[in-house]
Amino acid sequence: MKTETIEVLKDRSSQIWEKGKDQKLACDRKSLAGSVTQRACAFCGSRVVLYPIADALHIVHGPIGCAAYNWDIRGALSSGPQLHRNSFSTDLAEKEVVFGGEKKLEASLLELIEYYKPRAAFVYSTCIVGLIGDDVEAICKSVGRKTGIDVIPVDSPGFKGTKKSGYQAACEAAFRLVGTGSTVGISKYSINLLGEFNIAGEAWMIREYFEKIGIQVVSTITGDGRVNDLRRCHGATLNLVQCSGSMTHLAKLLKDHYDIPFKRVSFFGFEDTARSLYTTVEYFNDPELTLRAEKLIHEEIAKYSAELKKYKKLLKGKKAALYVGGAFKAFSLVLALRNLGMKTVLAGTQTGSVEDYEQLKDICDEGTVIVDDSNPLELAKFVLEKDVDLFIGGVKERPIAFKLGVAFCDHNHERKTPLSGFEGMLHFAREVANSTLSPIWQFAPRRSQFNKSFSVPETISKT
Partner 1 sequence: MKVLDEIKPAHNAPIPEAATRNACKVCSPLGAAMVFKGIQGCLPFLHGSQGCATYIRRYMISHFREPVDIASSSFSEDDAIFGGARNFEIGIDNVIQQYNPEVIGVATTCLSETIGDHMIGMIKDYQENHKTDGPPLVHVSTPAYTGTHSDGYREAIKAVAQHFAKPCKHKKPYLINVLPPMASCADLRYLREICRLYGLVPVMLPDYSSTLEGESWDQYNRISPGGTPVGRLEQMGSASGTLEIGHQPAYAKESAGAWLESAHRVRKETAGWPIGIRQSDHLMTSLSMLSGRTMPKEVEAERGRLVDAYVDGHKYISGKTAVVFGEPDLVISMAAFLSEIGIRPIICATGSKVKKWSEMLAPEIEDGVKDIHCMSGVDHAKIKAKIAELKPDLMVGSSKGFPISKEFNIPLLRVGFPIHDRFGAQRQLTMGYRGTQILFDQIVNMMMEVKQTRSEVGYSYI
Q: Which of 23, 117, 313, 358 is the binder for partner 1 (CB under 8 A)? A: 117
Question: Closest by alpha carbon to 260, among 182, 164, 178?
Answer: 178
Q: Which of 16, 50, 121, 127 is the binder for partner 1 (CB under 8 A)? A: 127
CA 157 to chain centre: 20
Contact call for residue 376 and partner 1 (CB under 8 A): yes
Residues 43-62 that bind partner 1 (CB under 8 A): 43-44, 54-55, 59, 62
Give the nearer residue to partner 1 in terms of CB position, either 246 or 280: 246
Residues 238-297 that bind partner 1 (CB under 8 A): none
Give the nearer residue to partner 1 in terms of CB position, either 112 or 289: 112
Give the nearer residue to partner 1 in terms of CB position, either 256 or 454: 454
Least CB distance from residue 125 to partner 1, whole Å? Answer: 13
Do residues 321 and 409 touch, judged by C-beta distance below 8 A? Answer: no
Residues 146-205 that bind partner 1 (CB under 8 A): 157-162
252's CB contacts (< 8 A; 6+ apart) are 262
420's CB contacts (< 8 A; 6+ apart) are 202, 205, 206, 267, 268, 273
Segment near partner 1 (CB under 8 A); pick from 119-127, 174-182, 277-285, 300-308: 119-127
Q: Which of 68, 138, 291, 302 is the binder for partner 1 (CB under 8 A)? A: 68
Contact call for residue 118 and partner 1 (CB under 8 A): yes
Q: Which of 131, 138, 291, 302 is the binder for partner 1 (CB under 8 A)? A: 131
Contact call for residue 380 and partner 1 (CB under 8 A): yes
Give the nearer residue to partner 1 in terms of CB position, either 61 or 292: 61
Q: Which of 19, 26, 28, 132 is the binder for partner 1 (CB under 8 A)? A: 132
Distances from the Cα of 103 to the Cαs of 96, 97, 110, 140, 257, in angstroms? 9, 12, 11, 12, 35
Task: Tell me the one-letter amino acid at 131.
Answer: L
Segment near partner 1 (CB under 8 A); pick from 265-273, 319-327, 335-343, 437-445: 437-445
Sheet containing 190-196: which strands, arranged edge to edge?
216-222, 190-196, 238-241, 262-264
Distances from the Cα of 210 to the Cαs of 279, 290, 296, 421, in angstroms? 12, 11, 10, 12
Query: What is the DSSP code string of 367-400?
Result: T-EEEES--HHHHHHHHHHTT-SEEEE-TTTHHH
Least CB distance from residue 204 to partner 1, whole Å? Answer: 9
Least CB distance from residue 24 to partner 1, whole Å? Answer: 22
Contact call for residue 133 and partner 1 (CB under 8 A): no
Give the nearer residue to partner 1 in terms of CB position, either 135 or 294: 135
The dihedrals phi and psi of 199, each to the nearest 5 degrees, come to -65, 130
Give the nearer residue to partner 1 in terms of CB position, either 181 or 341: 181
Give the nearer residue to partner 1 in terms of CB position, either 145 or 416: 416
Residues 391-420 that bind partner 1 (CB under 8 A): 395-396, 398-400, 402-405
Do residues 143 and 106 touch, judged by C-beta distance below 8 A? Answer: yes
Contact call for residue 93 and partner 1 (CB under 8 A): yes
User: Could you tell me where the beta strands, DSSP code E, fall in 167-208?
Assistant: 190-196
Distance CA(95)–CA(84), nearest Å, equals 29
Do residues 244 and 327 touch, judged by C-beta distance below 8 A? Answer: yes
Give the nearer residue to partner 1 in terms of CB position, either 240 or 383: 383
